[in-house]
Structure 1
């Protein structure tokens, strides 16, 4: 396999001038493409989940014990830190951090492209990435959640590997993994670079150490057994394909088509390069392939999963456009800009009925409970707790952890017996200890409805009475003395 040719070396003065022009342009474009993220208080349940987790951690909760999720710890810690500095009433600080994450990703991709193919390629890669990075449903592309913060880590891993900095590459892979497990897929192109550069004997121990130290540190900083269970071994039922085949296949097709439309300017040159080129971008193809595997893992195909494809796709398009006439590069950028403007308009003007429902439900919780009361929202919208400013009565912030409901499963794989192992005994103890002042059944006809969950049905019958409804969600107040 031939080595990737590098662009000629440049003086420090030229390098400074280059980045002095490119960096402000990328910063302006990053801000422009993230404008919709600032127009709504919240974009999706993942943001709500992280916000509630951060509040619980600030109150003395312990990750993977009294505060749980199937995700690694970096993003809950980031939310907690942002709330500690700026207050917990707004996600604006996280939106700003998301802009910086996208800018850092674009700069790293531009640096990779410039080192390999010259100054023009650096501009192309950075601009194309930012344009295509918002090419999904805005609730996926504009939210300050896991994949947005994976991207600079994965780009940094490839950047470090390209320069033979194996300890730093391992640490970057670890950071991606500790943001979300699928971020670790970038290890494939990193290992390929290790092999290609003939550095296996000296580089592999450094790569392993760079990865292992942060991961072990995170496990020790939380609870090692809990960290292993919640991030690796405890999600078998969640990842199962049974019970949602048609729904998942439709979602995969729709989200693939959406990203395909957003990438219309990139796909033609990439496909052409795949037909005619034989060498020069093996690591980028491996990066794209490993990202596609990451999208597939878990068999849910949510839109935000697809963000991991955007960075290698932008680099591959930059590489492919070098083989075409200059006007094709202009056409690719203009096409991507037009697609980007459509997605920005979608984000700015499309209604968000689920957010409006959560806000109305939060208003009802505020009116019916006091600031120190605990409540239970039986649903998949944990943002209701955060919007209402009320603490959850349980560590399980969604009904999904207690029933395995996620993303439209039908009833065959939803119920108490499909819950996270050991969850129901803990839940029952928490209901006895915290005795929520108000229970909200926000299932609205979904397979996890309270009347289909025997333990919850018995709890409501023994201790609560129905006191109202909000958009189909049923409110239950605790009976006196119960």
Structure 2
């Protein structure tokens, strides 16, 4: 049995190929490979075009973008617990193509996945061989859809974060430390957990014995874009909403069993998607050292990012796929060639399974949101503001009606998220100061229609006294698919 990698193989520990493996680049390598990767990226994202929306995050971003287009200010009158990069992307896409469809964002997601695959290809090719580069890009794209379609096919934060994380490793591999810092900042500004890529970057800085000037370049590269984003919005609001204001949300307390089951389920789903990736990694771990400590650090830091917040939503797991693809590619360099064919075949079969899931599975929550949106649209005028009390902000976008509050879900006002039950759901667990602002918004311009879309959830009006008092000025007019629509009672009838 092997105990170490044979010295004649092109794989080496570290971030450079052996001298015998260095050679002039193949003249047509990228010209031939990029179109194939682009075709594969398009094929793997075909289900994304099957529905107008995939999950509430897309709906939240779409509503935010409309609010920003109509004069809203991020982290003041438009709020979320996320950094600004993806909301700005949605706003820009709506400004160019209109806000009636997310198709331009679907195309942007394809470009993001292709960009990630190309960067991983370049990293693997530089470290090992031309074939290794192709392997890394293909394995990544095949595994990239390996989650519940509402997580893998949506054009949301993680998809647009991944190219930045791959770019950070690409730049660090080439000792371009200033741009490496910019890429780390880009990952953080797409989603906070993207900043986890700083750990492998720091390792490469330390291992390479980088002088202080390189460390400074990297630090400045990280700091300047983040500072610019804070100044472009509201610095205090930026700090609160992206860093300090989510203490109650980032807690394991409440529905621990439910959350644990979700985490294990999503991990199992991703393991199926990585049926071609995991076996080579495990086999090489048994036979030899794989080297490339920075790739293991990248995977470990990404795993910690998945755990952060203790919610374990499926889309969090997307962050694991790029380092897994590179580690599998590294492992395949010291395994017989038939292992590569097995890995590609298993990955292709898993990918086909998830694509079929995306194309054929019903979307009951989307159907519900569309039914409610149709009722809201029919009972309001275009200029009327409405309040949807629930966890489906996409209803505003589908109904083409403006929200009556900056708080687009009941989660920000009750700490409910992802099925959390028990003692940590209610007004006292809301974002600090949210209820005072919420009451002022509704007192200044009362919504024409309020939709109670709780459907028995822990944040239902009976358990939220402030909302119950607000509903006292409204009367029920219709029930739609479990949601209750309330219309404001005229002043003279109260």
CA offset digits 1:249-302 (Å, max 9, x no partner): 000010000000110111111012223333531110000000000000000000
- In structure 1, distance between residues paired with 2:231 and 2:189: 13
Question: Following superposition of structure 1 onto structure 2, how do residues 332-347 of structure 1 map, counting pairs within 5 Å?
Answer: 332-347=343-358
Whether 1:418 aligns to 2:429 is yes
Does the residue aligned with 1:115 lie in a helix, a strand or coil? Answer: helix
Partner of 1:111: 122
Task: Identify the match of residue 446 of structure 2 among 430, 435, 451.
Answer: 435
Partner of 2:6: none
C-alpha contact 2:273 2:350 (8 A) present in aligned 1: yes
Task: Identify the match of residue 33 of structure 1 among 44, 50, 54.
Answer: 44
TM-score (norm 1): 0.98
- In structure 2, distance between residues paired with 1:262 and 1:84: 36
Whether 1:165 aligns to 2:187 is no
Task: Identify the match of residue 377 of structure 1 among 366, 388, 391.
Answer: 388
Does the residue aligned with 2:304 lie in a helix, a strand or coil? Answer: helix
Task: Identify the match of residue 244 of structure 2 among 214, 227, 233.
Answer: 233
CA offset digits 1:47-66 (Å, max 9, x no partner): 00000000000000000000
Whether 1:465 aligns to 2:475 is yes
After TM superposition, give the deviation of residue 434 of structure 1 in Å: 1.6
Partner of 1:208: 219
After TM superposition, give the deviation of residue 203 of structure 1 in Å: 1.2
Question: Following superposition of structure 1 onto structure 2, how do residues 380-419 of structure 1 map, counting pairs within 5 Å?
Answer: 380-419=391-430
Partner of 1:148: 159
Partner of 2:4: none
Does the residue aligned with 2:276 lie in a helix, a strand or coil? Answer: helix
After TM superposition, give the deviation of residue 374 of structure 1 in Å: 0.1
CA offset digits 1:409-463 (Å, max 9, x no partner): 11311000000000000000001112100000000000000111000001111x1
- In structure 2, distance between residues paired with 1:170 and 1:189: 12
- In structure 1, distance between residues paired with 2:40 and 2:468: 52
- In structure 2, distance between residues paired with 1:200 and 1:159: 19
C-alpha contact 2:13 2:292 (8 A) present in aligned 1: no
Question: Following superposition of structure 1 onto structure 2, how do residues 272-291 of structure 1 map, counting pairs within 5 Å?
Answer: 272-278=283-289, 280-291=291-302
Does the residue aligned with 1:265 lie in a helix, a strand or coil? Answer: coil
Partner of 1:271: 282
C-alpha contact 1:170 1:211 (8 A) present in aligned 2: yes
- In structure 2, distance between residues paired with 1:265 and 1:31: 21
- In structure 2, distance between residues paired with 1:276 and 1:374: 64
- In structure 1, distance between residues paired with 2:79 and 2:460: 22
C-alpha contact 2:15 2:173 (8 A) present in aligned 1: no
Q: Which moved more, 1:189-198 or 1:399-408?
A: 189-198
Distance change in 2, residues 1:350/1:2 (3 Å): closer
C-alpha contact 2:284 2:290 (8 A) present in aligned 1: no
Whether 1:187 aligns to 2:198 is yes
After TM superposition, give the deviation of residue 140 of structure 1 in Å: 0.1
Does the residue aligned with 2:248 lie in a helix, a strand or coil? Answer: helix
Partner of 1:4: 15
After TM superposition, give the deviation of residue 97 of structure 1 in Å: 0.2
Partner of 1:475: 485
Q: Which moved more, 1:186-195 or 1:374-383?
A: 186-195
C-alpha contact 1:102 1:130 (8 A) present in aligned 2: yes
Whether 1:254 aligns to 2:275 is no
Unaligned runs of 5+ in 1: none
Does the residue aligned with 2:281 lie in a helix, a strand or coil? Answer: helix
CA offset digits 1:68-94 (Å, max 9, x no partner): 000000000000000000000000000
- In structure 2, distance between residues paired with 1:379 and 1:76: 21
- In structure 2, distance between residues paired with 1:38 and 1:279: 39
Give the RMSD, CA atoms, in angstroms. Answer: 1.1
Task: Identify the match of residue 364 of structure 1 among 350, 375, 383.
Answer: 375
C-alpha contact 1:3 1:196 (8 A) present in aligned 2: no
- In structure 2, distance between residues paired with 1:33 and 1:253: 24
Partner of 1:69: 80
Distance change in 2, residues 1:437/1:336 (3 Å): same
Does the residue aligned with 1:469 lie in a helix, a strand or coil? Answer: strand
TM-score (norm 2): 0.96
Whether 1:309 aligns to 2:317 is no
C-alpha contact 1:52 1:383 (8 A) present in aligned 2: yes
- In structure 1, distance between residues paired with 2:255 and 2:13: 45
C-alpha contact 2:59 2:393 (8 A) present in aligned 1: yes
Runs ≥4 residues deviating over 4 A: none
Partner of 2:329: 318
